[in-house]
Structure 1
């Protein structure tokens, strides 16, 4: 059953990153499967208003003030009028927010529940429980996820972290990993000048003791990405291995410390700093190397190491967060997030490549079989079916915990109630003082919604036309649908969708 979906996050293109790529790829695949998807994010330099991307993907760049690392200033309620206008214009049915630190995501979930829309949240990060920033973030996350239909995490470690941070029932959290477009990260298999990658059978030739091995690092240069570890370990690695050089791409506040270390140790000839690179240039940088080094201190998934393995690089990474779940053991060399262990693990990787122990030319096809955005879209679509009632509760959760406390708060189909009193009960349980504050926010948000419905009625908002889709014809020239995935939708299913939309509009009217 096709849905109208709004993906909402502060982080999106043109800024590069794993969350940004995830939202774009997932949206594109959902469009291919017959759904309507729009993206709501804040304005970037030179990008304000509405932009259309490949495959008819519409992006709303809302001009809100950005305060830190592309995160908008939290105002709680000022986003509501704009959000409501977009949702009504696009006839949105499901609001899908991304990232714990995205202010637009947290606010959109609150406003969507007030408007009677189904909501999903995808968590891409890991957070602690002791420092002030994590405590505040966890409290806000608990507020947002107390009244949500379902949560998606990108790894099992991320799920455990999110369940603890937001006090969630594990049943309402699914694990759907990231993926890569393997065709965009191909090794140099047809390059006769690169003996590491070839199509001929048999083990790859050894890299001689005097051959140069290149280590690639592509990362945001922030503390949590392990830049301090890299700064400490890099000169020691180069001192122990004379025929090794580094290529480092990325930008961030730690870039100055990295440059100072290179100048202090006179390593300009052996370390190539590229600065920030576009996502479509990442593959061209990776295929210049033999080893990919990822010294991150915390990571929920680590899409970049999958991209590196797909390019035929042997991966050296820290054993933190969800990284051990991402790649099989023969593709990685793990290290503790410590300077000595990073140096030792890199040395083991260099030795393994020199003796021909690692078959890196096989990595691309193996990664291609493990990760697919089509599979991610299908699993996400199943979540949409579960929260909308298209799939029964027992079928969606496979009978697990059918009598649990969480399922007891849900209706016949296992979906959250939109009644204000039920929402206030869920918010009230967020804490002695925070619970009362969250209830007050929900009440004010509801009053703003009532005022908007009275003074800016839906009838005055023009409905946006859908992006025209390519028509497919059968052998006799008859139209069979607008896409390969929705061509078989019958009139009965279309009528069912209209009935559900009418029921939703009636429920929204009853909220006022």
Structure 2
């Protein structure tokens, strides 16, 4: 597994990689994770069940993404692939430079390659255009592609101009027992008429996560219903904007900002509320929605990206990505709870049946098994495939591929494969 985003940074991609790796280990596979260093966390670390993580010291450019170099990571990646007897290179996240490079170099070395996309991106702005070109280059090197939703699949097929038959849809999941509802939490409409109604928000406070919408919603909802309180967990550049909104409308006693929280604390925050609010502008899946529903919260969110695929309609109230629409949907959700028209006590059991990491790992394993080495393209056919990627981009891709093969030959000459020590795998407990 290769990605720029991993522990100790919290997030959906990070926990997807961790839990998927743990379940694959439980199924008898050996899994290694490669990411960049985080502060003083460098070198090799071991996590639960012998999950080995390589924190390699690369320059971080922006939001924990390494500086894209195309070739600079090849020597160390090759060494790890050979040392760990790697068969499959699985890259994650479209904006992870390290994942793109690992999949490309792994393909050059003749290894099976898989790429999972977790996000949705556009086509018009400069960043998206450049990112889509890089994605197109990677997807023309990869054997299989996994997306976390059908909307994400449509997005990546268009962005990467790839064959939809190579793309599988495998969602995220949650460990439902880690998000059990509070048995003492109020779920009946009679209590809600007397008690405070708490709206939970747990999100990175960035524009794409709807932080601006959240800042506009808070005073309107507080004005419309005097029983509403907000509990907001998260950090980011829009944290100050929300603080200023609270001070401007004098809502200090009704809105609590607690900053970023660790993932193991998310459940403890969620069970304090009645409604989970997720005003995002774009989302490929939205694992936090499943976590909230598992905790017994009614979910109010925007109808964008792959979110409509995540939960059934009885758990979710949708809104357009605008302040007025979100306010109206949130107030409607409060009214439904007050009128006792939604029984959130059953949400946890329903989520447990819908999302399970063991099932996700088995489906991912099926994708791995569908790749046959004999079906991999020869170098000549790979060049032809790159040539179809565009007048200028195609020639650049061909040049990169030829240079990569040359670097591989040079590395093999100076550092032959048989001279690299092979690791001793983590001992497995015998099953009786």
TM-score range, shorter chain: over 0.9
Please name the residue that 2:43 is paired with: 49
For 1:404-423, what aligned pairs fall within 5 Å after superposition?
A: 415-417=375-377, 419-423=378-382
Q: How does 1:207-222 map to 2 (within 5 A)?
A: 207-222=191-206
Structure 1 unpaired stretches of 5+ = 1-6, 197-203, 390-410, 474-512
Structure 2 residue corresponding to 1:23, chosen from 13, 17, 23: 17
Q: How does 1:316-465 map to 2 (within 5 A)?
A: 316-388=300-372, 415-417=375-377, 419-465=378-424
Q: Which residue of 98, 102, 114 corresponds with 2:96?
A: 102
| C-alpha deviation, 1:205, in angstroms | 4.7
Which runs of structure 1 show a deviation greater than 4 angstroms over 4 or more consecutive aligned residues? Answer: none
The Cα shift of 1:427 comes to 1.1
Displacement, 1:208? 3.8
1:87-119 deviation digits (Å, cap 9, x = unpaired): 000000000000000000011111001101010
Q: Deviations over 1:249-284 (max 9, x none)?
A: 011111111111111111111111110100010000
TM-score (norm 2): 0.99
SS at match of 1:127: coil
8 Å Cα contact 2:192-2:337 kept in structure 1: no
Matched, 1:176 2:170: yes
Alpha-carbon distance, 1:48 to partner: 0.4
Mapping 1:121-140, distance limit 5 Å: 121-140=115-134
> Of 83, 106, 109, which aligns to 1:112?
106
Distance 1:311 1:87 in 2: 40
| 1:195 and 2:186 are equivalent in the alignment | yes
C-alpha distance in structure 1 between counterparts of 2:397 and 2:248, whole Å: 52
1:227 is aligned, of 198, 211, 217, to 211
Contact 2:293-2:347 within 8 A present in 1 as well? yes
Distance 1:72 1:195 in 2: 46
Equivalent positions of 1:219-258 (< 5 A) are 219-258=203-242
Work out whether 1:159 is the aligned partner of 2:153: yes
Within 1, Cα distance between the matches of 2:321 and 2:191? 28
Pairs aligned (count): 432
Q: 2 CA distance for matches of 1:36 and 1:150?
A: 20
Is this contact kept in 1: 2:198–2:273, CA < 8 A?
yes
TM-score normalised by length of structure 1: 0.83
The structural deviation recorded for 1:176 is 0.3
Structure-2 residue corresponding to 1:406: none
Gaps of 5+ in 2: none
CA deviations over 1:384-432 (Å, ceiling 9, x no partner) = 110136xxxxxxxxxxxxxxxxxxxxx6xxx322x22111111111110
Q: Which has the larger radius of gyration?
A: 1
Residue 446 of structure 1: CA displacement? 0.7
Partner of 1:494: none
Alignment partner of 1:467 is 2:426? yes
